[in-house]
Structure 1
Amino acid sequence: MTSPASLQQAFIACNAVLQQYRQYWQLVPFACQQLPWHNPALAEKLLALPEQELAGIDQSSALQQQHFGELFNGLFQLENYLNAADNVLPATELKPVPFWLTNGIAGRKLQQIDAFARQLPASKLPMLEWCAGKGHLGRLLAWQFNRPVTSIEWQQQLCADGSALASQFQIPQRFVHADVLTVQGSSVLAPQQQVLALHACGQLHIQLLQHAVATGSQQLNIVPCCYHLIVDAQYQPLSALAQQQDLRLSQHDLKLAVQGQVTAGARIEKLRHTEVQWRLAYQALRADLTGETDYRPLSSVAKHWFSGDFAEFGRWAAEQHQLPLPAVPDWQHYLQQGAAHAALVRRIELVRHLYRRPLELWLVLDRALFLEQHG
């Protein structure tokens, strides 16, 4: 088990690096019209990188260190802490799960449930599944460990679907239809429980930590995600140590922690590149028409938009900003501007992404220190 002192040391080391290099990650790449740092050596390296190598470097810690180690020595000295955070407990042996119990669970979700289950400590406590959805996690764990599970979920239809599956497979799983952010939702917590949460987003897992501490929950097993989905514009640190630091994190900053790329198919990757180019092309059009160079975001849209026509997207975007368009905009001209700007943004993000892991570890350690602080 990691000692409180080592938790504090790792947190302080992460905090120092994030503070030291904050100009390289605490920014909005889309808003940059040129490389935002006065660092000639970095600029020379970034501009010399072939376009086709960027994604590979972004996904490989070894390549990141090879290309940027000399420029960000303090960052890569964190490696011992980052590697230590990856050391998991010896895996628990599990029974093979029958195929009929996994029907309807996507392959990646099933892998995550399996990995989560293998890290759970031995327990005889009844289980509570937080933000359960259809209760796939709770259902498989109840079967695997032969223990009852209570699954709390705010969408009534998902509760009904999960209850039907539990009945069909004779699993001891009870659903509670409630919003975990309310008093009714938090009232399901009890001291004699093993509380489980796989991918509880932002405020949902923060609320769980705070209520579990207040309740005195005996066991708590959480995989947090989507740190940016919080109620406040700025992150409110949980632990006393984090509260003492001068590191203010916006929701945009917090998104960086979950921007680790999962390898996508060629089609999805192409659509992602197209989306960036089109959004930046529209930004160039808007700047020409209004004289306003500040980046103004657009809402998210389905990926199928970006397999269509840029002119259609441009008209939709202009409508969102109530921007009158000329009769025949030079769409091709702005597409070329968007492509050039997108190439710049990819290089800025390549540097910014070096700080994904330290920021995520800072956030995880804040949670761990909060729990340690409360015994």
Structure 2
Amino acid sequence: FPIGDTTVTWTVTDTAGNTATCTQIVTVEDNEAPVFVEKLPSDATYECSFVPDATILTATDNCSDVEVVFKEVRTDGTCSSDYILERIWEVTDENGLTTSHTQIITITDKTAPSLVSNLETELDVNCTEIPEVPTLEFEDNCSSNVTVIYNETSTYDDNQISNYEIVRTWTVIDECTNEAVFVQKLNVQIDNEVVQINDRVCTDNGTINMDVYLNNNESGSNWVLESGNVTLEGNTFDPENVELGIYTFSYTTSSNGCLTTTEVILEVHDECVVLPCGRKDVIISKVITPNGDMQNEFFTVEGIETCGFVVDIKIFNRWGAKIYENSNYKNDWNGTAHSSSVGNAEKIPTGTYYYIINLINSGMKPFAKGFYVGTK
């Protein structure tokens, strides 16, 4: 009988055609709801990178064929990879009896992005060979877009030159604020490139601007005297009143932690000075009066004091007798004669005498001329 009330009538007839009837009402009720066949899935939490497919459920009913209806409702959370799935399976028989099952799946993102590229985490480098910042690739298990924040710090100090560290940091954040940090440390060795310049300057060259020895890109430092007794005025050096000799100056600049030192070695000389060393510059006494009045007391050869010549002198009387000779004369003869030349007199007599002077190392011909001696 179908579900509901069914009227059943029985009719009986005898041979004479007489009939009798009986009526029965049969009521069929369905009080049993459909039943799921498979094991029902329970609530669960999954990482966003693994969301299981919905379980396929079937059902049976004691009275009719039934079909399971499935639906899924998503409720988003605070980020794209955090959400809740509500999965509902429902089956209804022909009598309207319903059985349902609900599964709550919580999807979450707890995994930070990862590094795909190769990264050397620590390197020992020279300051001239600091590598470029590498281009890194990152991936995330759930987010298609990640935020990369790059930062670089250095312990380099212009005021205290020494080996230093560069720390490169990549902070990578996915859409659910999961964060990963990747670090590269560079141990930088200081290098000092020394450029040496040798030059010669004369004492009368005038003030020298030391910056002429620098490249165009060198600035921001100060010249330092490394050797020699002289005072620098900023970047200027005046060779006029300093001792002849070697002076060393240095200028050090830094770029990206590397040092460049320009070392200038200057030889200060006086070869450019025009000395009064010609024949016309030689001044020889014409008269000497060695009488104690301190005027014209000595026979002198002057005007060649700075020339480096050696004076070789011979003095003769008018008869040609040599009365004085000195191969390294120092302007100190005052009319004294050799004891064998003029009797025993200490001073030579008044009169005219003659000299022959040879200036050794001068390249000049000897000087020969007369001069007057007055001893009274």
Q: Classify the TM-score, shorter chain.
A: under 0.3
Relative to total residues, which structure has the larger helix share, 1 or 2?
1
State TM-score, norm by structure 1: 0.21
Q: Which has the higher contact order (CA 8 A, sep 6+)?
A: 1
Relative to total residues, which structure has the larger strand share, 1 or 2?
2
